[in-house]
Chains A and B, each alone.
Chain A
Amino acid sequence: MNIHHIITELEKADPEVYERLDSRRGVMKSFAKMSGKLALAALPLALGGMFKKAYGQSTTTILGVLQFALKLEYLEAEFYTMGAAAPALVPAGAPMGAITTIRDHENAHVKLLKDTIVALAGTPEAKPVFDFSAGNGSGNGPLKTVFTDYALFLAVAQTFEDTGVRAYKGQAANLMSNNDVLTAALNIHSVEARHASHIRSMRRVNLSNPAIKPWITGKDTGGIGALVQASYDGEEVTTQATINIVNINGQAISVNAATEAFDEPLTSAQVLAIVDPFIV
């Protein structure tokens, strides 16, 4: 195939092509490198990848998402680190086992995100100072007993996990130009959902409340209340891409099941508003 001809045609239709790809010479170099490595049949795929990259989101967008995710992971990592270390808070045995497992995952996510930001030539933002009382630094917010009241600790954990799931979900589309970053984000996203499921099961047992389930029903906070409602608003939808899920195709799917079957995204602005009281 005549690569020079393709690029010339491309240039006619899109004069800015060299700003998208780095330069004509760069393109030629890419092709030379590719054709050395790839069989001809694989070239169209490689071509697709190159143009997807060129016309996809900029690295700036990707880095922005990663910094946003890093902020949330800093929050979670410090929350569980402090919770696991707080005297007489988390019972020994299965509960402490679960909290340390989750703590270690969140710390691993912090490290992975920092490494990825560096690999993309960015500088990881520093860890914010947190106020887990949700008092914006006063230390006297509505959650001030979070590290002495186990039920409250689990309630905040549930909210952080469910919010985290929604936060990653909301950013997936912004990562489509970088397959490695997108896949890593998806692989974190499902881990947060596993955490959410388990924390919810812990609350169910701790409060002897069978209404608390591993999944989100409607926009129910699981008895936590108005303080965390913003983390659940929007979860009550029963229509997906204009398809009504309730009793779909004659199946007995209740409103509750229809809402539980799909988790909903949050925008970064919504998430930042939710975590704002925790950041000094």
Chain B
Amino acid sequence: MADQIIVPKEQDDNVMLSPKGLQRRKFLTLFAGTAATAAVIAGCSKDSNNNDGINLGSGDIGILNYAYALEQLEAAFYTQVIMSQYAGITATELSLLTDIRDHEIAHREFFKNALGAKAIPGLEVNFAAIDFSKRDTVLATAKTFEDLGVSAYNGAGKLITDPVYLGLAGKIVSVEARHAALIRDLISNGSFADNTVIDANGLDKANTPATVLAAASGFLKSKLNGSNLPTS
């Protein structure tokens, strides 16, 4: 059963397995034949006309592909960090960065398998601007990726309709936050949760997919199209 939840043949089947999905189906039934159906469909198809780039898709599957894209980016980055280690890397740093690489690969492969046939293809990255031989550059980029990843998952939570997927995103985002704090401490001890990332209410950031995808685009040769992702 859980297998089906994660590797759906049809997105609608998948959605219907959850309590919310059942509610949604009820609504769709209710609305069939009313003017609302036409309006809903019209509202959706307007966005679908934009086919520029790799389309992440819509609904929960779109959000999972969005997460898959970010994990691909992070995994590729740390793989390169370990392959071409910066000058003066300490044994401790190498050990911790290797752990992070493995976590990101685990996340990437998990999403790939979870999405199955609905997964976007492997992405081409663009790390031309990153000097992997320099500690400062590598850690600054890592900080960007980790803080961005945390804000992406935090912002995507409300866009997810299936509680199982929300739970999975929650299991991953706290690990990304652990990474973010470590990387920040490696750059400057004590900056794990400073006021550049945590506000006066003690809250981390939450960013929309549009903001995150724009920030990630500079590190990707592949162009991502998030125009069908949910926005509320």
Listed stretches A83-91, A121-129, A248-256, A267-275; interface member: A248-256
Q: How far is the CB of B78 from chain A (nearest CB, A)?
A: 12
Cβ < 8 Å to A, chain B residues 74-105: 92, 95-96, 99, 102-103, 105
Q: Using Cβ atoms and an 8 Å threshold, which residues of chain B touch A188?
A: 202-204
Main secondary structure of the interface of A (DSSP, over half): helix
Partner of B202, one of A55, A105, A243: A105
Listed stretches A133-141, A145-153, A189-197; interface member: A189-197
Partner of B170, one of A172, A215, A245: A172
Partner of A98, one of B96, B171, B192: B192
- The reply to whether A9 and B193 form a contact with Cβ atoms under 8 Å apart is no
Partner of B174, one of A6, A111, A169, A258: A169
Q: How far is the CB of A176 from chain B (nearest CB, A)?
A: 6
- If A106-B202, A195-B193, A241-B2 touch, does A251 touch B171 (CB 8 Å cutoff)? no
Partner of B103, one of A98, A187, A215: A215
Q: Which residue of chain A has the shortest Cβ distance to B105 in the bound complex?
A: A251
Asked if A261 is at the interface (CB within 8 A of a chain B CB), the reply is yes
Q: How far is the CB of B98 from chain A (nearest CB, A)?
A: 9
- If A186-B153, A186-B173 touch, does A191 touch B190 (CB 8 Å cutoff)? no
Q: Using Cβ atoms and an 8 Å threshold, which residues of chain A touch B6?
A: 241-243
Q: Which residue of chain B has the shortest Cβ distance to A254 in the bound complex?
A: B102
Asked if A24 is at the interface (CB within 8 A of a chain B CB), the reply is no
Partner of B105, one of A44, A195, A240, A253: A253
Asked if A119 is at the interface (CB within 8 A of a chain B CB), the reply is no
How far apart are the CA atoms of A107 and B166 in the complex, in Å?
Answer: 27
Q: Using Cβ atoms and an 8 Å threshold, which residues of chain A touch B2?
A: 241-242
Q: Using Cβ atoms and an 8 Å threshold, which residues of chain B touch A187?
A: 154, 203-206
Q: Using Cβ atoms and an 8 Å threshold, which residues of chain A touch B5?
A: 241
Partner of B175, one of A51, A94, A191, A262: A262
Partner of B167, one of A49, A173, A257: A173
Can you identify 24 A-B contacts, CB atoms within 8 angstroms?
A: A1-B36, A43-B43, A45-B231, A101-B193, A169-B170, A169-B171, A172-B163, A173-B163, A176-B161, A183-B157, A183-B158, A188-B203, A189-B170, A190-B173, A193-B181, A197-B177, A197-B179, A197-B181, A198-B193, A210-B95, A240-B168, A241-B114, A241-B168, A248-B109
Binding site for A on B (CB under 8 A): 2-3, 5-6, 20, 23, 26-27, 29-31, 33-36, 38-40, 42-43, 46, 92, 95-96, 99, 102-103, 105-107, 109-110, 112-114, 150, 153-155, 157-158, 160-161, 163-164, 166-168, 170-182, 185, 189-190, 192-194, 198, 200-206, 231-232
Binding site for B on A (CB under 8 A): 1-2, 5-6, 9-10, 13-14, 40-45, 47-49, 51, 55, 94, 97-98, 101-102, 104-109, 111-112, 165, 169, 172-173, 176, 179, 182-184, 186-198, 201, 210, 213-215, 240-243, 245, 248-249, 251-254, 257-258, 260-265
